[in-house]
Amino acid sequence: MPSPRMSRAKSFPGLPDPLKPAMDRSGRVVHTLPALPYKHFVLEPCIDTGTMHLHHDIYHATSVKRLNDALAEYPELQTLSVEELLLDVNRIPEGTRVAVRSHAGAHLNHSLFWRTMGPANGATGCGTLLAAIDHSFGSFNGFRSQFVEAGVNHVGSGWVWLALSAQRNLQIITTTNHENPIQVGLYPIMGNDLWEHAYFLRYQNRRAEYLERWWKVVNWPEVSRRFIHFLDRLQTPAA
């Protein structure tokens, strides 16, 4: 019996760039690690090269491998996108559900994370996004400080998000472990990783300093693209 929360989540209109599995050379349908869209050193204004290698090449790669391992005995689940797995966890056999949820969530969150960062090039968000941020948070600086505060106050591992509700309201939320906003009926615009592995090498326990410096590497054109995508879908519901 699906919970009300899951029933709501399943009614999502299309998410951009769904993470679909593909056939590998041996003919197995598997999830794959997306290549970083830039060199590992590009995020140095906030994230050191060593952390990027550990985080993308090892941590994220391991999540993808464990997701494939968790799905190995279940051919009927292997062709689903990561989003489909997370939005309908009741179809996943109980014995593997915790593993699939956690590794699929890690794969989705990190894939989104790499794309919404990039070289510090001075680009800003589009006018529509900036106006919506002003409307929801008072000002752009107000938004930034509320986002950092939410991230600092989150206890333990998780993520801090800018997310859009079905009523088109922007919200700042945090999620636990590798939960994604789609699992609570919200559209993820961008998120920052609050796990210690994301910042510990350079910042040790100074999560606030990491969160403050992160603004230097946010890829605002990509964040804007995601916001406009969701806005369009919500204004013109699919038939």
Distance CA 35, CA 56 (A): 9
- For residues 125 and 191, which CB has a smaller minimum distance to Mn ion in the complex? 191
Binding residue for Mn ion, selected from 193, 207, 214, 218, defined by CB under 5 A: 193
User: Rounded to the nearest whole angstrom, what is the least distance from the CB of residue 45 to Mn ion in the complex?
Assistant: 19
- For residues 132 and 179, which CB has a smaller minimum distance to Mn ion in the complex? 179
In degrees, rounded to 5, the angle at the alpha carbon of residue 113 between the alpha carbons of residues 13 and 216 is 125
Site map 139..178 versus Mn ion, x via CB under 5 A:
----------------------------------------
- For residues 77 and 182, which CB has a smaller minimum distance to Mn ion in the complex? 182
Which tokens hold the place of 187?
Answer: 């559209």
- For residues 137 and 203, which CB has a smaller minimum distance to Mn ion in the complex? 203
179 binds Mn ion (CB under 5 A): no
Which tokens hold the place of 179?
Answer: 């939960």
Total residues contacting Mn ion by CB under 5 A comes to 3
User: Rounded to the nearest whole angstrom, what is the least distance from the CB of residue 193 to Mn ion in the complex?
Assistant: 4
- For residues 108 and 150, which CB has a smaller minimum distance to Mn ion in the complex? 108
Question: SS3 of 166, please?
Answer: coil
Pick the closest to residue 98 from 210, 178, 217 (CA basis): 178
- For residues 146 and 177, which CB has a smaller minimum distance to Mn ion in the complex? 177
Distance CA 109, CA 89 (A): 17
Site for Mn ion in 21-40 (CB under 5 A): none
User: Rounded to the nearest whole angstrom, what is the least distance from the CB of residue 167 to Mn ion in the complex?
Assistant: 30
User: Rounded to the nearest whole angstrom, what is the least distance from the CB of residue 130 to Mn ion in the complex?
Assistant: 28
Residue 87 near residue 67 (C-beta atoms within 8 A): no
- Contacting range for Mn ion; rule: CB under 5 A; set: 20-28, 131-139, 171-179, 196-204: 196-204
Cα-Cα-Cα-Cα torsion 162, 164, 168, 171, nearest 10 degrees, comes to: -50
Distance CA 32, CA 110 (A): 12
Q: What are phi and psi of 97, to 5 degrees?
A: -65, -45
In degrees, rounded to 5, the angle at the alpha carbon of residue 28 between the alpha carbons of residues 24 and 34 is 45
In the complex, which residue's CB is closest to Mn ion? 193
Binding site for Mn ion (CB under 5 A): 193, 195, 198
